[in-house]
Amino acid sequence: MRRCTRDPNGRIVVFDAGSQLHLALRRPWLLDHLDAIMTTISEPDRREADPRPARERFYRQHLDLKRWMRVVVDFGEDPAWVVTVTIQNHSPMESR
């Protein structure tokens, strides 16, 4: 399974076999939400740098006003690829 999208800067991002394996092992229920994952990258509500170099976090409110989908993308390779996806119960603007 390989899905592609572009981030708001026009960079190609793929959800590939490595992305799928990571989710299958850690959060398999998110594999049913590939469209939401790709939309989070292409139409994020918020973006920020990740603590790791060459990575960026994309956020989109997911399902309701309390939960956010966070997608981490690694731009250190071409094409960029989805590293991980999670759902968080707080806004990315809140400090934790």
Which helix (H) or strand (E) covers residue 19, if one does?
A: helix 17-26
Q: What is the tens place of the pLDDT at every residue in 31-86?
A: 999 999 999 999 999 999 999 999 999 999 876 667 899 999 999 999 999 999 99
In terms of Cβ atoms closer than 10 Å to its own Cβ (0-12, 13-18, 19+), residue 51 is exposed
pLDDT (mean) for 2-28: 94
Q: Report CA 91 to chain centroid distance, whole Å.
A: 15
Q: Identify the residue with better confidence: 10 or 66.
A: 10
The domain segmentation of the chain, as residue ranges, is 3-88
